[in-house]
Amino acid sequence: MHLPDRILMGPGPSDVHPAVLRAMSAPLLGHLDPDFLPILDEINDQLRQLFRTSNRVTFPVSATGSAGMEAVVVNLVEPGDTVVVGVKGVFGSRMAEVARRAGATVHTVEAPWGNAIDPQTFIDAVHRHEPVLAGLVHAETSTGVHQPVADIGAALAGTDTLFALDCVTSLAGVDVRIDDWHIDAAYAGTQKCLSVPPGLSPVTFSDAAIERVRNRSTPVQSWYLDLTLLLGYLDAEGGRTYHHTAPISMLYGLHAGLDLVLSEGLDARVARHERLGRMLHDGLASLGLPLLAEAGHRLPQLTTVGLPEGVDEAKWRTRLQDEHGIEVGGGLGEFAGRAWRIGLMGHSCQERNVLLVLEAIERLLSAR
């Protein structure tokens, strides 16, 4: 098997640090081995630090970020419940669809592609519909929009509505404060700003969320993602109950990746993404290319940029990959065919990469 050497600057996965790959090659232990369980406990504690939470129930789901979304929704929603979801791109739409499939009546609060949802509009919708769950995407990967959530969390605190947040692209890339923002459930992915291969989804649940799960009147829709079963393995007092075979090598890699984040310092890592994201934004603007996320709400780690009229974006993307060894993502939804999504996440977020991609794009523009 021969694989090309790419610089991964798309919407995920990001480049993986060599220390993570080394950790993943370590000898396997059984998932109930007494020498492995402390590693899992350490991972959960590391994730609490990244989420900035004291939630006891914080752990990696054994699947990608979309499974984290499913885990949050199917555990907290029962058939007939009302749910409010903010939709400003693909992944808000996905959250709404998961809730519908869980049997909920879903009301959406929408914003145009490239815009954030107005917090007061969202709060008003929650007060009007009184849902059991309200959900938002913090970093919308399809549009590059950074959604403000602190005021929404403060407004919902003390109500009967649980507040869920998609942090798949935001965790370890921009500030995430689960406890300060009164978030009841959140999920992320390993392949974005954590720079670990795809395959795990860190999640966290507040005590109020766990109480909601324990007081359900119907079984959780998914056996695999049922928290009442998972906690027998993850959070048991005394012996652990077998639930599923945990992906040991992936967990080794996550442990190493979280070590790297915490060694750098979470604030320093967020600042690095902010500085280099701004450098990329300024460089693209100097090339005459429009940034598609509204000013003031642009993610530093995921940039949507428009391409000149008449350009075949797929062919240009192929040239960028073949001629320069750089992978970026194509546009989704309303941005399909006319935009790129450029990622600066985790180990890929380096000044060298910003300069390389700007130089490559400039060459493509000059050769038109």
2 assigned to some structural domain = no
Cα gap 33→235, rounded to integer Å: 15
Q: Are 85 and 73 in contact (CB under 8 A)?
A: no
How is residue 267 written in tokens? 């604030």
Q: How many residues does the chain have?
A: 368
71, 210: one domain: yes
How much is the pLDDT for 238?
57
Cis previous bond, 11, omega within 30? no
218, 279: one domain: no
301, 180: one domain: no
Q: Are 325 and 318 in contact (CB under 8 A)?
A: no
How much is the pLDDT for 295?
98
Closest CA to 152 of 114, 194, 180, 187: 180
For 181-195, how does the pLDDT look when each residue is reduced to its tens digit (9 = 90+)?
999 999 999 999 999
Domain boundary among 219, 242, 262: 262
Cα gap 298→304, rounded to integer Å: 9
For 232-247, how does the pLDDT look when each residue is reduced to its tens digit (9 = 90+)?
887 765 567 889 999 9
User: How many domains does the chain fold into?
Assistant: 2
How much is the pLDDT for 240?
79
Domain boundary among 262, 291, 319: 262
58, 179: one domain: yes
286, 193: one domain: no
Q: Which residues are CB-neighbours of 265 under 8 A, at least 6 positions away?
A: none
Q: Are 198 and 190 in contact (CB under 8 A)?
A: yes
Q: DSSP character for 335?
A: G
Q: What is the mean pLDDT of residues 112-139?
A: 98
321, 297: one domain: yes
pLDDT at 197 over 90: yes
For 309-331, how does the pLDDT look when each residue is reduced to its tens digit (9 = 90+)?
999 999 999 999 999 999 999 99
Residue for token digits 């390993």?
A: 190
Mean pLDDT rounded to a whole number for the chain: 96
How much is the pLDDT for 2?
86
User: What does 249-302 look like in DSSP terms, one character per residue?
Assistant: HHHHHHHHHHHHHHHH-HHHHHHHHHHHHHHHHHHHHHTTPPB-SPTTSB-SSE
How is residue 308 written in tokens? 């000149």
216, 240: one domain: yes
Q: What is the mean pLDDT of residues 28-49?
A: 94
Domain holding 88, by residue range, is 18-262
How is residue 357 written in tokens? 């991609």
Taking the model in full, what pTM does it have?
0.97
200, 271: one domain: no
255, 289: one domain: no
129, 199: one domain: yes
For 133-176, how does the pLDDT look when each residue is reduced to its tens digit (9 = 90+)?
999 999 999 999 999 999 999 999 999 999 999 999 999 999 99
297 assigned to some structural domain = yes
1 assigned to some structural domain = no
How much is the pLDDT for 116?
98
Q: Are 113 and 89 in contact (CB under 8 A)?
A: yes
Q: b/e per residue, 256-275, with b = 16+ CB within 10 A?
A: bbbbbbeeeebeebbebbbe
Q: Are 61 and 251 in contact (CB under 8 A)?
A: no
Domain boundary among 226, 241, 262: 262
CATH code (residue 284): 3.90.1150.10
314 assigned to some structural domain = yes
How much is the pLDDT for 237?
59
74, 164: one domain: yes
